[in-house]
Amino acid sequence: MSLTYLLDGYNIIKLVPLLAEKPWDESRAFFIRWIEAALPQGSRNNQVIVVFDGQPGSWGDCSTSVVQVVFSLDESADDRIKAMVNRSKSKKTIVVVTNDRDIIYAVRAAGASSMSVEDFMRKGRQHPLGAKTLPKKMAQQKQDQSKYISKSLEFKITSEFERIWLKSKDSK
């Protein structure tokens, strides 16, 4: 059974120092070439789809025999990834690669699995993307994510504070 890897393109590029410091066009092209060479998806039989926000612009369609590139056009890449998972007839064969918690929760709820950017990058046979700086940068990202509160939890907390605040005002 082959797998389909859906990659949150800019989420990954922003986490890899060597990619993040390049112009977007160069970063995308370099990342695609790295996937073709390193095969972090494990096998050429496993499909790789990289989803980027926006439109291709002058860069055009850079899909290859190994990597399919999708631009989200008038919606966010996050929404496009969630929709692709929801439309799939075989959700259990989809692995979404991102560190975005909202996407992770949504695709897991739909029946797909997720993989962290760190784990995906480490699966590559070769690592020309800065092996020494990658773990440090990603460790910082994980630390930053531990401080993250989802919008639904933020709403619940705010509602609870409002309830407590208004209750204490009424009792005075």
Nearest to 1 by CA among 35, 47, 64: 47
Cα-based distances in Å from 47 to 1, 31, 91, 92: 11, 16, 14, 14
Q: Give per-residue burial for 44-79: e unless 16+ CB within 10 Å, then b.
A: eebbbbbbbbeeeeeeeebeeebbbbbbbeeeebbe
Domain ranges (residues) in the chain: 4-170
Instruction: Determine contact, residues 94/88, Cβ cutoff 8 Å.
Output: yes
Strands 113-115 and 47-52: unpaired
Residue 17: CB atoms within 10 Å: 15
How far does Cα 172 stand from its chain's mean position?
49
- 87 and 42 in contact (C-beta within 8 Å)? no
Residues 11-48: tens digit of each pLDDT:
999 988 888 888 888 888 889 988 988 889 988 899 99
Question: What pTM, to 2 d.p., does this model score?
Answer: 0.71
> Of the ranges 27-31, 66-70, 108-112, 163-167, which one carries the lowest mean pLDDT score?
163-167
**DSSP assigned state of 19:** H
Whether the per-residue pLDDT at 59 is higher than 60: the answer is: no
Residue 43 vs residue 161, higher pLDDT: 43
At residue 168, the pLDDT reads 64
- Determine the Cα–Cα distance for residues 124 and 54; give it in Å rounded to an integer: 27
Instruction: Say what the pLDDT of residue 158 is.
Output: 76
Instruction: Answer yes or no: are the C-beta atoms of 8 and 101 closer than 8 Å.
Output: no
CATH architecture for the domain at 4-170: 3-Layer(aba) Sandwich (3.40)
What's the mean per-residue pLDDT of the chain? 81
Closest-CA residue to 117 (of 35, 21, 2): 35
- Determine the pLDDT at residue 94: 97
The three-class DSSP label of residue 71 is strand
pLDDT tens digits along 118-140: 889 888 765 555 444 454 555 45
Distance CA(8)–CA(158), nearest Å, equals: 30
pLDDT of res. 163: 79
**Residue in this structure with the two tokens 């996050």, named with its chain if needed:** 78
